[in-house]
Amino acid sequence: HGRVAMAAFVGFCVQSNGIVIPGQLTTSGITYADIAAAGGPGDQWDALPTWAKVQIICAVGFLEVIGELSPVIEANGEKHYVKGGKPGYYPPFSGFFNEQYWPHPLPLNLYDPFNFMKNASPEKKAKGLVAEINNGRLAMIGIMGFCAASKVPGSVPGLQFITPYAGEPMGPFSEIDSALPMVTGMLELFKQ
């Protein structure tokens, strides 16, 4: 959760400051700048085409499944965390994953992509783990503060500069996505 929160926190900061990569998001001509022009991060998410949202959710789901697959974890010499393994361990893309599940090699891993920690001492790794856990906790507080401040302006002291968001921050889809199954029902629940 901490790693995801850190990515979300950084993403919120980047999107809030109008940092945009050049180019087109879709073949129909929607650019990243078009999405950024929608407003704050919540509005930008709502402005994404439905299938872009579905792709993002599926990609994150895929990474989650890989991180939970016992055969992948065990092939890397570890156990699943509920079976006595290390909490927070994410299997590398090299080795078993590349050979069994992926049609081409993936050169970088999610954890330590440039092998900076490969030869680190156990003490340095332990210190880094504590720092990562603490940063993750702060990021969780931070991203929820950003969400609260965008939904209820003035609710978080010091975050009055956050762009207000009129949508539903805990609902991944909006009215423009109502062609997807179950979205209409989800939206009705939020109105109650």
137 is in an annotated binding site: yes
Say if residues 69 and 45 touch (Cβ distance below 8 Å).
Answer: no
Q: Which two tokens stand for residue 5?
A: 């929160």
DSSP track, 122-135: HHHHHHHHHHHHHH
135 is in an annotated binding site: yes
As a residue count, the chain comes to: 192
3 is in an annotated binding site: no
3-state secondary structure at position 155: coil
Report H helices in 79-170. 96-100, 122-151
Distance CA(98)–CA(116), nearest Å, equals 21
Distance CA(112)–CA(116), nearest Å, equals 6
**Which residues sit in the known binding site for chlorophyll a?**
132, 135, 137
**Which residues sit in the known binding site?**
132, 135, 137
